[in-house]
């Protein structure tokens, strides 16, 4: 990457469906568009009229008797920020001392200072600030868990149940995940609302007042709720602050995971110490067990706040294969879990779990089911397994016989197994050398149901002026179980099944023509959206958007056919992002990522 500016490196986003770095046809590197609201300066009078009243009351951070705060002791932070954020004799810094955030939250704040307030920071200083604030003004593991979907960039349907009105107020413009992964004093929540109204005056009509208000301004109700639910001082943060330290995670870890559309992955991660106690170098070696494809990646990681893993890894050092890693180091330092992802909308990548491999670790088996009266080749994957195991070292449960051992090595045990014709349908516990294997091994009689996930997917047209947002689907087979009824508690999951993919009209209107224009679904269940912008070949020059059924059809060995389907919405690009990169002639020189890359 020699010769590229920090901003250019930060802006590169490369969509791709696999961790090996391959991208769908038509995908191309794109930079994320900036928000239309901040592409031009607001008049100073507007900003002052909206923010001064709040500043006058909130700047003291203690008018209601709450004088709690977190001192800022880092000279880099003080030197870079004190021009606007005053420091008192106790080390309390206006605004900064009265909030706590994730690394992404602090990075967002710094980015805002650079783009909106002309703050000049070089990359090294920006990284040091993010690290200090994330470590000392961060959030505890228990506080982060409900909002992990936000930092792990999961496209899920999630509702904030404690207060629907507050969710309506905040989620008009951004995810509630951004809200619940912060902690602030009452005054700071109030000042945050004032900042919204000052920088984004349309928020009053589009967000705060969109649905009207029975009494008072909706922001006042939001401040009351948020300051009660997410205060600066909490038992969780107090307890975590007392025990927080850099985790000792160097060593070998067993990797297990699931990549939507591609199935289980198993392998190892070698973690070595980096430049300091919170930095690490990683070496990843794993296999897609359905296809046998092996991947080798090398990366680097920073662990913030004693548990928040933020990393990047590459295949052969190639930037186009960059994969972001967001995980949690669990208490005890024996498990790390989370999500790795890539893509213009962070839509590709697996859920993963790492388990410390001080001794033998059994990660899982594949396949996870066999039909009664048939044979299958089954592999148990792991790390540090005993080699040379024989038939007597394996217990597959009643009605399942080990026919022969195919392979017995330190990372896998493979055997041919046979399920008897009269074997009872159901899950078996599997033991290898006396140790239980994660994931039940199931004997079944018939495939009765196909479940397509996600049940409701979303893609975004692109490829012209904006990036494409792809959607990956996969099919899982189920047997109805002893009661014979679908979708009940005794259903037997049988794992991934090969299907034929197709799309059908979602009959919402007469003469629906969505399937002709929205894009294509490939043989692997990956939906490729069409190009963005008005289409002159479509009636009314409409965009290539719409909704369809994504259908998976399984054809059995005896001619049987089972279908499942999911709803896909193909919509417009995400035109506005609350994380601007360029404002006028100002080029952002702050790295987007929190992993030190």
| Position 583 in a domain | no
Domain end call among 392, 422, 444: 444
Same-domain status, 20 and 84: yes
Nearest residue to 197 (alpha-carbon basis) of 205, 430, 273: 205
| Position 577 in a domain | no
Q: Which residue has the tokens 């330190």?
A: 410
What's the whole-number mean pLDDT along residues 318-336?
95
Same-domain status, 483 and 439: no
Whether 66 has a pLDDT exceeding 70, the answer reads no
| Position 592 in a domain | no
Range of the domain at 511: 449-571
What's the whole-number mean pLDDT along residues 111-133?
91
State how many domains the chain has. Answer: 4
| Position 59 in a domain | yes
CATH code of the domain in which 302 resides: 2.40.128.120
Same-domain status, 486 and 430: no
Same-domain status, 456 and 537: yes
Looking at residue 112, its pLDDT comes to 87
- How many distinct helices (H) and strands (E) make up the chain? 13, 32
Whether the ω angle into residue 367 lies within 30 degrees of 0, i.e. cis, is yes
| Position 4 in a domain | no
Give the burial string for 335-374 (b: 16+ CB within 10 Å, else e).
ebbbbbbbbbbbbbbbbbbbbbbeeebbbbbbbbbbbbee
Same-domain status, 24 and 162: yes
Same-domain status, 16 and 90: yes
Same-domain status, 224 and 250: no
**pLDDT single digits (tens) 575-588:** 876 554 433 333 33
Give the distance from CA 73 to its chain's centroid: 32
**pLDDT single digits (tens) 519-558:** 999 999 999 999 999 999 999 999 999 999 999 999 998 8
Alpha helices in 137-200 (DSSP H): 141-144, 148-151, 164-170, 176-180, 186-199
Give me 144's structure tokens. Answer: 């982060």
Pairing, β 561-571 against β 361-366: unpaired
Residue 311 CA: distances (Å) to CA of 80, 354, 544, 589, 596: 26, 14, 36, 20, 8
Looking at residue 509, its pLDDT comes to 78
| Position 25 in a domain | yes
Residue 317 CA: distances (Å) to CA of 4, 12, 74, 102, 284: 16, 15, 34, 28, 13
Angle at 572 between CA 16 and CA 515, to 5 degrees: 80
Give the burial string for 164-182 (b: 16+ CB within 10 Å, else e).
eebbbbbbebebbbbbbbb
Same-domain status, 466 and 505: yes
Whether 597 has a pLDDT exceeding 70, the answer reads no
CB atoms within 10 A of CB 547: 18
Q: Which residues contact 65 (CB under 8 A, 6 or more apart)?
A: none
How many Å apart are CA 222 and CA 230, to the nearest integer? 11
Same-domain status, 35 and 115: yes
Q: What percent of the chain has pLDDT over 90?
A: 72
Q: Which residues contact 166 (CB under 8 A, 6 or more apart)?
A: 160, 221, 222, 225, 226
**pLDDT single digits (tens) 435-492:** 999 988 999 999 999 999 999 999 999 999 999 999 999 999 999 988 889 999 999 9
- Mean pLDDT for all residues in the chain: 86
- Is residue 359 helix, strand or coil? coil
Bridge partners (DSSP) of residue 552 are: 501, 564
* Contact present, 472 and 260 (Cβ < 8 Å): yes
* Contact present, 254 and 285 (Cβ < 8 Å): no
Nearest residue to 390 (alpha-carbon basis) of 411, 408, 417, 365: 408
Same-domain status, 210 and 331: no
CATH code of the domain in which 489 resides: 2.60.40.10
| Position 594 in a domain | no
What's the whole-number mean pLDDT along residues 327-339?
98
Residue 586 CA: distances (Å) to CA of 2, 47, 109, 114, 425: 22, 20, 17, 9, 65
| Position 211 in a domain | yes
Same-domain status, 15 and 132: yes
How many Å apart are CA 11 and CA 4, to the nearest integer? 11
How many Å apart are CA 588 and CA 11, to the nearest integer? 9
* Contact present, 473 and 501 (Cβ < 8 Å): yes
**pLDDT single digits (tens) 228-240:** 999 999 999 999 9
Give me 10's structure tokens. Answer: 């930060």
How many Å apart are CA 351 and CA 348, to the nearest integer? 10
Angle at 2 between CA 4 and CA 339, to 5 degrees: 75
Domain end call among 386, 416, 444: 444
Rg (CA), the chain: 27
Same-domain status, 287 and 380: no
How many Å apart are CA 300 and CA 236, to the nearest integer? 29
Nearest residue to 113 (alpha-carbon basis) of 55, 43, 44, 195: 195
**pLDDT single digits (tens) 494-512:** 999 999 999 999 987 778 8
């Amino acid at each position: 990457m020699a010769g590229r500016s920090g901003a250019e490196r930060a802006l590169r986003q490369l969509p791709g469906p696999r961790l090996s770095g391959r991208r769908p046809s038509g995908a191309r590197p794109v930079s994320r568009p900036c928000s239309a609201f901040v592409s031009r300066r607001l008049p100073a009078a507007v900003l002052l009229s909206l923010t001064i009243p709040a500043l006058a009351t909130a700047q003291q951070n203690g008018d209601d008797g709450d004088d709690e705060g977190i001192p800022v002791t880092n000279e880099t932070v003080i030197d870079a920020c004190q021009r606007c954020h005053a420091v008192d004799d106790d080390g309390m810094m206006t605004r900064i001392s009265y909030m706590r955030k994730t690394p992404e939250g602090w990075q967002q704040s710094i980015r805002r200072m650079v783009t909106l307030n002309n703050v000049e920071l070089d990359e090294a200083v920006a990284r040091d600030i993010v690290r200090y604030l994330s470590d000392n003004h961060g959030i505890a593991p228990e506080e982060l868990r409900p909002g992990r979907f936000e930092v792990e960039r999961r496209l899920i349907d999630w509702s904030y149940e404690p207060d629907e009105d507050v969710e309506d107020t905040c989620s008009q413009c951004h995810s509630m995940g951004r809200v619940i992964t912060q902690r602030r004093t009452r005054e700071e929540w109030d000042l945050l609302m004032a900042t919204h109204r000052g920088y984004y005056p349309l928020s009053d009509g589009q967000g705060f007042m969109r649905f009207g208000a029975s009494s008072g301004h909706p922001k006042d109700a939001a401040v009351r709720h948020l300051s009660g639910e997410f205060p600066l001082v909490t038992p969780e943060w107090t307890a975590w602050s007392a025990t927080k330290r850099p985790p000792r995670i160097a060593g070998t870890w067993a990797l297990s995971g699931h990549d939507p559309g591609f199935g289980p992955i198993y392998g190892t991660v070698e973690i070595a110490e980096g430049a300091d106690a919170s930095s690490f170098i990683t070496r990843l070696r794993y296999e897609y067990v359905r296809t046998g494809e092996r991947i080798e990646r090398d990366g680097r990681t920073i662990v913030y706040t004693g548990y928040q893993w933020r990393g990047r890894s590459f295949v052969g050092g190639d930037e186009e294969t960059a994969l972001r890693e967001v995980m949690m180091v669990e208490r005890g330092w024996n498990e790390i879990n989370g999500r790795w992802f890539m893509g213009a909308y962070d839509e590709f990548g697996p859920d993963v779990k790492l388990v410390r491999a001080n001794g033998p670790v059994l990660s899982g088996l594949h396949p996870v089911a066999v039909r009664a009266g048939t044979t299958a080749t089954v592999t148990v994957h792991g790390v540090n397994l005993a080699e040379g195991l024989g038939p007597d070292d394996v217990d597959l449960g009643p009605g399942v016989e080990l026919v022969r051992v195919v392979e017995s090595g330190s990372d896998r045990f493979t055997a041919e197994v046979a399920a008897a014709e009269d074997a009872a349908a159901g899950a078996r516990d599997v033991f290898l050398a006396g140790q239980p294997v994660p994931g039940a091994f199931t004997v079944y009689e018939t495939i009765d149901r196909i479940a397509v996930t996600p049940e409701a997917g979303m893609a975004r047209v692109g490829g012209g002026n904006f990036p494409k947002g792809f959607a990956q689907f996969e099919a899982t087979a189920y047997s109805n179980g002893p009661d014979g009824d679908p979708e009940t508690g005794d259903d037997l999951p049988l794992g991934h099944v090969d299907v034929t993919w197709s799309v059908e009209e979602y009959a919402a209107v007469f003469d629906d023509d969505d399937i002709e224009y929205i894009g294509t679904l490939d043989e692997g269940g990956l939906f490729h959206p069409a190009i963005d912008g008005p289409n002159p070949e479509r009636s009314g020059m409409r965009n290539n958007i719409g909704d369809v059924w994504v259908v998976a059809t399984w054809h059995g060995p005896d001619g049987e056919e089972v279908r499942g389907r999911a709803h896909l919405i193909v919509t417009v690009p995400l035109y506005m992002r609350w994380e601007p990169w360029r404002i006028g002639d100002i080029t952002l020189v702050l790295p987007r990522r929190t992993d030190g890359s």
